[in-house]
Structure 1
Amino acid sequence: MATPTPMRHAPSQQGRTPSHQGPTPSQIAGATPPISTPFSNPAHAAFSPRGQRGSPQQVKKSPATSTLMSQSGMGALNFDSPSTAAAMGALGIGSSFDIVGGLDTLGVAFATEDDKLKRLDNILKLLNQKKGFVSEAGLERLAQRLGLELLSEENTAADGRKKKTLAIAGSAISVDIVLDNNIVQNVSLAYHGSATSVSSQMEAASQILLADLKLGPNQSPLTKTLDKFAYNFSHIANLDKLSVIPGLDCYEALAGIFTSLERLHHWDISNLRKEPEMASKSDQYLTLAALCTRHGYPVMHARNKVGLALQYWKELRFVPPSDNKISASSESEEKVWSLLLDCAPIETLGLSPVRVSEDWISKDVVKQDQEQQNQALENINLPILDWQEPENISLPSSDENKNPGMDELSMHLSTLPQVTFTVTFDPPVILPQNDCIRLYSYVNATPPNPSPSGDFGQRPLPPPTFDDLFFPVLAGSKQDPSESRTITRLRDVRVFDQQGKSFIRSHHNTLFIYKPIYSQEVTEMAFSHPRQLIEMLPLLRQFAFLSILLNNSFGSETKEGSPKSVKATWAPATTKTVKDELAAFMASSDDEGQDDMNIDVILWVHPSPYLQVVFPVKGSTIDITLRILEGGVVEIVNENIIEQQTATGKGKMLNREDLGKVLERLEDLCKWAEWIRTRLC
């Protein structure tokens, strides 16, 4: 018979031992900060150097947190590892766990108290990186760090084996994890709110959490970490802590945005079907077309990530999978660019609070005013979307949801949720300063100062350049950010001769950045309306496609090397100016025969991304300048291919539009050069 028993308290909840004035090394588990927002839970606020945060929605009162808060402030704080305690002792940090004071004993000079707190934040980040291993104890510690309640129930199966069920609960969600000898057998996620749009998505989220915890083929329990599960489950726990039930359900708020974006996506698909060239295309092809050329593709709990994502770009977007097996493979291997939507506490003034609605866009999607629609069709070939403005949420004023930082404002404002929508760029997007300012303008915000490396995460001036962020300079290398830069790589490319036989040709690729442009890497920002995300998509696609071209020819999959032409003739010792270097670089391409090929590329990203591609063909040199427009469209600005093709009279005559469309489909400068070469040889 099943016997529910409360989960044993972690050592941090057992009080002090008689032999120690401070905490023992076994007492730290409960003091570990939460994964997503450190010190956001009141159980941990006592340990925070800054005290409790001002966002009340982060706090959920439960027996677990109440027990933690009842413990003596610093007496419950210590490490669960003797080796860690010894290391802290070596740092001069005593049993009272005075990290900041311990840092002073190291002889570290701090200008202000803020410097000490920043250094402490770095220490906490290092301690919080490892989530532990999949086991009953590991899951217990993780639930405690997230500030959720946890109970254990033991069951005896028909064969006599005993299994444990861990029940982790928040205010609106609960998850049951079944373990057999510390090996996870099943995961069930449940939602206790009233939104059917959230309940219908729980099974998909459960399958992702199960995959994060279940052993893979030939995997040992000793190597199964909690990292992936912690990433996904912390997203769920964060929404639970930010919700105020009743009043604000963050799960429902995100589900409402998903419903609206899905309505817009279905409208895109129906319009694509009406286009003559799309009439015979498959559903997957239309989905990819909407993903990359229209308003994106919203997904909930997909690609091994729990939560809402708006996909806007994809590798091989013109090649949809032909069957389910290939589709499953492309799901895990092909790169997708997405916007990950979440919620976060409002910690600065000027951010808009979340709103809950399924009608961010009208049921008709577009405005029905015929005059406005005709004007839109005439001017930009697109109808005007009928975006709506949902009403704000008003929470009942109470001590639980009152924001201390807002006391001076009106009582009406103090009842608004102290939670905002956030978007995370996956992967992060690298933009020149002007484009970065434009991206932030879509959400009515100003970009933060560049934050590269240095003490406490601050990069020394000047700001990083585009090439430095995309191709980081190796430590110890002497590279002046104000000077031109050359990157050389080797890549093996499979090509086909005129008889259809394949062979491998070695490409010697050289990237020349003659004008460094100050840039920023954008990872996340707050937003108030999904319309703002839709407006970003053309700019994001422009630089997503540029990143594909650069990665394929000069990224991590290529090898280090020096092209023969550049090594022999480019940038001689007498070269003094950038103009002279550029002239020497352009004159350095020679035909190296069938077995290898030199491709020289010049990059500049201001005011738009431009690439000048130079490579040899049969004793002559092909020289093409292209620009990547918003939406990832390739425009050929200048070329000498048509002239040479006219002279040789070989193959079907090409035009600039053909060249651009081929590059858009190949997504690869090396393959593009080989394709052009076959048309001229």
Structure 2
Amino acid sequence: MATPTPSTNTPQKHLAALSSPAPRSVPPINFDSPAVLNMLSEGGVGMGISMSGLGMSQLGLSASQMGRADEDERRRRLESIITMLKGKPGRVSAENITALCGKEGIVVDHEESTDKSNVTLTLVIGNEAMCDIAIAKGNVMSVKLELASDDDIFKDSVSRILYKSLKPPPGVNKINVTLDRFAHNLEKLLRMDKLSAENGGVPVYKAIFKVYNSLRKLFEHEKKMTLAIMDANTPNAGYKAEREVLCKKSGRPRMNAGTCLGLSLEYWMDRRHLIPKKPRESASIKGKEKMDVDSEAADEYSEDIDSDTNRIYSLTIECESSPSSMYTPIRIPDSWLSEAVEKAPDGPDADINNILLNTSQIDWLDPKPTYLEPVAPAGDHDSMNLGNAPGRLPNIRFVARFNPPLVVPWTEYVRITQNVGVEYNPQDLRATTFVGLAIRPGDVDPAMMGTAGGYTPEVRSERNVLVLDKDGKERQTTHANSLYVPKLEYARALESLPFSHPRQLVELLPTLRQYAFTTSLLQHTFVSKAPPPSPKQTSHASPLSPPLTPKETTPARPPLQLDLTLSYTAPSPRLTLQLPHPSSSTALPTDPAALLASLLATTTTTSSPITNRPALKVTLDVLPNADLYITEQNVVPPHADQGRDADVDMDRAHEADELVKQLARALDVCADLGVWGEWLRREVVRRDGGGGSAGR
């Protein structure tokens, strides 16, 4: 057999296959390969775990390939494959749904048509739920959930989510749709039913509904107050009011939002000022046309469809098992809020700060504990059974799961957990940083490197930014971004948080928004998103063909350097942005050697000098509720007439303050550091009378 000709185009990882002791006619097999698992899955029935009829030779295995592995080792490998296949729910089909339910202990009733082309599966999910799935010719036609409770809102929205989990997403062939999403949602329903059964039938669903109803009541009240202070002619007032409450007040509660099964409290949205061209018609002004947010049509928001633009940060409110002696158990009151929703500013129990600021305060209620009924009638024979005694508390607590997990400084992590009654454990301290958790999660965390001097290594990225040139035309420009964290600060990712009262979550939202906004800004700038390969990038050339000679192109202009410095210490993250002045005749090189050469050249020659204008620099703090406060800047020039006329000075000082606030509002609106940097350069050019080279 001829020896393969080496090629520079051959991937290095494929060369190891040439050294296999197996015969060339038998392709080597890798047990970790998804292709092999799919091959084995296709060979079976149902969930694809049957391997009957497959011998070792059919699997591509031979004695020479196995080396000196004995029979026990081969059995162990096969058992590991079978175990892995058993854990995969398989593709969407009536047989696989039945097999999945059998694995979870769910009773399934089949009803087939005469020609067996149509199948209706009835799933009995514990004692609380029943689900009907209609399948016609292999396609899921409908999903209908029935609950023991009479909450139609929850049933309809859960049915919609279960139906979506069984249908292919846009652009995906139905043959590639698996039961993974459906299995995840089914496991959630089973977990809630199991909690109810283990605690004497306590209605876990009802506990979640009561929290939702109270949070929804608070949301509608705050939305109404927000609309009241808006101009009657404000376009998209309903949208703006909703997003204002979502990002600045008590958040937006939604039941079964998007693809998330259960109650979600949404507390932050990226680019909330970006309103779709055709907003939902039901978003009305000042409540004249009440929006039916709980209907199936209103359940769909534009941000659910375009999640990349309007990314949502939310808390999924669930229940979990917890000893009642260790943590406050769940309560099921009629309401967590008073009828008035808010306390009067001058009420008898009003806070002094509310009196001074003439602001209202949420009038939360403190419900009584919810006790369980005895599991059996009391009698002499079980008088010593404390578990059957009346007055037991359920061993269940509320828990909020962060979606996505939120990175906060270590000191904030300790404060947040202590505020909800969780004891601080020093062993929870981990050598992790914001850069390692949020920016470069796949790399070694900078805190683990033992960096001398206690700083985080610089993070670099390049981004294409859409800008307007001096003629008002749109074009793409490249930014070379760098992030520097001068002080090594420990951070921790919040993934879940137990709570006993929804008031605790609402009080935490201003802090959570600080770090959600900071994370969003920096991830958008420094986290690379590899685009899917386009058809033009796919090459079908021979692997032995020489590389193509690139066409000669005009040299691209150097990227604009944006330098960011981050201080992540509580109580407020601080960002400092520095970028070249637009009046600089030549952009400074980003490479240190090239920068030194250019500086030396300007001292010895007079041709093409670099205009040494001071770089633009803005330092801002991200305050609670993601309010931005600029502490230092050189974009808005100071006035030199101070001290002559007090009235003039006051007017000019007020004008300067408003201009500085406008800089912060611009970042709040665009929520993009690259776009904001280009806007700052254009503002400098505009204030200088149109000179310089902004939008270069």
Provide, for residues 608-656 of structure 1, a one-character-per-residue CA deviation record: whole Å limited to 9, x for no partner. Answer: 2111111011232111111111110111011111228999x9xx96632
User: Does residue 634 of the first structure (1) align with residue 621 of the second (2)?
Assistant: no
Q: Which residue of 2 aligns with 1:566?
A: none
- The 1:215–1:318 alpha-carbon spacing in structure 2 relative to 1, beyond 3 Å, is closer
- Could you tell me how far apart the structure 2 residues matched to 1:146 and 1:471 are? 38
Give the alignment partner of residue 330 of structure 2, picking from 354, 358, 371: 354
- Could you tell me how far apart the structure 2 residues matched to 1:490 and 1:466 are? 20
- The 1:236–1:124 alpha-carbon spacing in structure 2 relative to 1, beyond 3 Å, is farther
- Could you tell me how far apart the structure 1 residues matched to 2:252 and 2:675 are? 28
- The 1:217–1:539 alpha-carbon spacing in structure 2 relative to 1, beyond 3 Å, is closer
- Could you tell me how far apart the structure 2 residues matched to 1:153 and 1:173 are? 19
Q: Secondary structure at the match of 1:201?
A: helix
- The 1:450–1:637 alpha-carbon spacing in structure 2 relative to 1, beyond 3 Å, is farther
- The 1:320–1:483 alpha-carbon spacing in structure 2 relative to 1, beyond 3 Å, is same
User: Does residue 610 of the first structure (1) align with residue 580 of the second (2)?
Assistant: no
User: Does residue 335 of the first structure (1) align with residue 311 of the second (2)?
Assistant: yes
- The 1:638–1:125 alpha-carbon spacing in structure 2 relative to 1, beyond 3 Å, is farther
Give the alignment partner of residue 542 of structure 1, picking from 485, 494, 514: 514
Q: Secondary structure at the match of 1:643?
A: coil
Give the alignment partner of residue 481 of structure 2, picking from 506, 509, 514: 509
Write out aligned runs for 1:382-393 (5 A). Answer: 382-393=359-370
- The 1:219–1:599 alpha-carbon spacing in structure 2 relative to 1, beyond 3 Å, is closer
- The 1:212–1:151 alpha-carbon spacing in structure 2 relative to 1, beyond 3 Å, is same
> Which amino acid in structure 1 is aligned with residue 342 of structure 2?
V
**Equivalent residues of 2:324, 2:394 under 8 A apart:** no
Q: Which residue of 1 aligns with 2:139?
A: 183
User: Does residue 663 of the first structure (1) align with residue 621 of the second (2)?
Assistant: no
Q: Which residue of 1 aligns with 2:468?
A: 496
**Equivalent residues of 1:278, 1:286 under 8 A apart:** no
Give the alignment partner of residue 209 of structure 2, picking from 255, 266, 272: 255
Provide, for residues 101-138 of structure 1, a one-character-per-residue CA deviation record: whole Å limited to 9, x for no partner. Answer: x9xxxxxxxxxxxxxxxxxxxx9997786332211222
Give the alignment partner of residue 175 of structure 2, picking from 219, 222, 236: 222
Provide, for residues 381-434 of structure 1, a one-character-per-residue CA deviation record: whole Å limited to 9, x for no partner. Answer: 53122111223222233389xxxxxx9988768822111111100010101110
> Which amino acid in structure 2 is aligned with residue 270 of structure 1?
K
- Could you tell me how far apart the structure 2 residues matched to 1:257 and 1:398 are? 26
Q: Which residue of 2 aligns with 1:424?
A: 401
Which segment is superposed worse, 161-170 or 264-273?
Answer: 161-170
Give the alignment partner of residue 472 of structure 1, picking from 427, 437, 440: 440
- The 1:613–1:487 alpha-carbon spacing in structure 2 relative to 1, beyond 3 Å, is same
- Could you tell me how far apart the structure 1 residues matched to 2:242 and 2:630 are? 27
User: Does residue 165 of the first structure (1) align with residue 120 of the second (2)?
Assistant: yes
Q: Secondary structure at the match of 1:602?
A: strand
> Which amino acid in structure 1 is aligned with residue 316 of structure 2?
L
**Equivalent residues of 2:436, 2:445 under 8 A apart:** no
Write out aligned runs for 1:57-136 (5 A). Answer: 81=51, 92=72, 130-136=88-94
Give the alignment partner of residue 226 of structure 2, picking from 272, 296, 320: 272
> Which amino acid in structure 2 is aligned with residue 266 of structure 1?
E
Q: Secondary structure at the match of 2:529?
A: coil
Write out aligned runs for 1:470-619 (5 A). Answer: 470-472=438-440, 475=443, 479-480=449-450, 482-557=454-529, 596-607=559-570, 608-617=572-581, 618-619=583-584
**Equivalent residues of 2:401, 2:495 under 8 A apart:** yes
Q: Secondary structure at the match of 1:642?
A: coil
Q: Secondary structure at the match of 2:113?
A: strand
- The 1:125–1:310 alpha-carbon spacing in structure 2 relative to 1, beyond 3 Å, is farther
TM-score when scaled to structure 1? 0.69
Q: Which residue of 2 aligns with 1:284?
A: 239
**Equivalent residues of 2:439, 2:522 under 8 A apart:** no
- Could you tell me how far apart the structure 1 residues matched to 2:530 and 2:355 are? 46
Rg larger in 1 or in 2?
2
- Could you tell me how far apart the structure 1 residues matched to 2:500 and 2:110 are? 40
Give the alignment partner of residue 236 of structure 1, picking from 189, 193, 199: 189
Provide, for residues 64-116 of structure 1, a one-character-per-residue CA deviation record: whole Å limited to 9, x for no partner. Answer: xxxxxxxxxxxxxxx755799999x989589899x9xx9xxxxxxxxxxxxxx
Provide, for residues 232-253 of structure 1, a one-character-per-residue CA deviation record: whole Å limited to 9, x for no partner. Answer: 2222221122114975111111
**Equivalent residues of 1:257, 1:358 under 8 A apart:** no
- Could you tell me how far apart the structure 2 residues matched to 1:84 and 1:295 are? 62
Q: Secondary structure at the match of 1:313?
A: strand
> Which amino acid in structure 2 is aligned with residue 546 of structure 1?
T
- Could you tell me how far apart the structure 1 residues matched to 2:158 and 2:394 are? 26
Q: Secondary structure at the match of 1:542?
A: helix
Deviation at 1:467, TM superposition (A): 1.3
**Equivalent residues of 1:431, 1:543 under 8 A apart:** yes
- Could you tell me how far apart the structure 2 residues matched to 1:431 and 1:124 are? 41
> Which amino acid in structure 1 is aligned with residue 178 of structure 2?
T
Deviation at 1:441, TM superposition (A): 2.2
Q: Which residue of 2 aligns with 1:151?
A: 109
- Could you tell me how far apart the structure 2 residues matched to 1:659 and 1:354 are? 46
User: Does residue 364 of the first structure (1) align with residue 364 of the second (2)?
Assistant: no
- The 1:179–1:558 alpha-carbon spacing in structure 2 relative to 1, beyond 3 Å, is closer
> Which amino acid in structure 2 is aligned with residue 600 of structure 1?
D
**Equivalent residues of 2:433, 2:445 under 8 A apart:** no
Q: Which residue of 2 aligns with 1:68?
A: none
**Equivalent residues of 1:450, 1:520 under 8 A apart:** no
> Which amino acid in structure 2 is aligned with residue 357 of structure 1?
P
- Could you tell me how far apart the structure 2 residues matched to 1:414 and 1:639 are? 63
- The 1:80–1:442 alpha-carbon spacing in structure 2 relative to 1, beyond 3 Å, is farther
Q: Which residue of 2 aligns with 1:679?
A: 683
- Could you tell me how far apart the structure 1 residues matched to 2:432 and 2:254 are? 34
Q: Secondary structure at the match of 1:631?
A: helix
Deviation at 1:290, TM superposition (A): 0.6
Q: Which runs of 5+ in 2 are unaligned?
A: 1-48, 62-68, 282-299, 378-383, 532-554, 585-612, 642-651, 686-696
Write out aligned runs for 1:10-49 (5 A). Answer: none
Give the alignment partner of residue 142 of structure 1, picking from 87, 96, 100: 100
**Equivalent residues of 2:440, 2:527 under 8 A apart:** no
- Could you tell me how far apart the structure 2 residues matched to 1:319 and 1:278 are? 20
Q: Secondary structure at the match of 2:413?
A: helix
- The 1:502–1:441 alpha-carbon spacing in structure 2 relative to 1, beyond 3 Å, is same
Provide, for residues 533-567 of structure 1, a one-character-per-residue CA deviation record: whole Å limited to 9, x for no partner. Answer: 101101110000001110121122389xxxxxxxx
CA RMSD of aligned residues (A): 3.9
**Equivalent residues of 2:318, 2:400 under 8 A apart:** yes
**Equivalent residues of 1:624, 1:638 under 8 A apart:** yes
- Could you tell me how far apart the structure 2 residues matched to 1:125 and 1:415 are? 41
**Equivalent residues of 2:214, 2:335 under 8 A apart:** yes
- Could you tell me how far apart the structure 2 residues matched to 1:431 and 1:339 are? 15
> Which amino acid in structure 1 is aligned with residue 374 of structure 2?
S
TM-score when scaled to structure 2? 0.68
Q: How many residues align?
A: 526
Q: Which runs of 5+ in 1 are unaligned?
A: 1-78, 103-122, 401-406, 452-460, 560-591
- Could you tell me how far apart the structure 2 residues matched to 1:531 and 1:476 are? 38
Provide, for residues 238-279 of structure 1, a one-character-per-residue CA deviation record: whole Å limited to 9, x for no partner. Answer: 112211497511111101100000010011012112325687
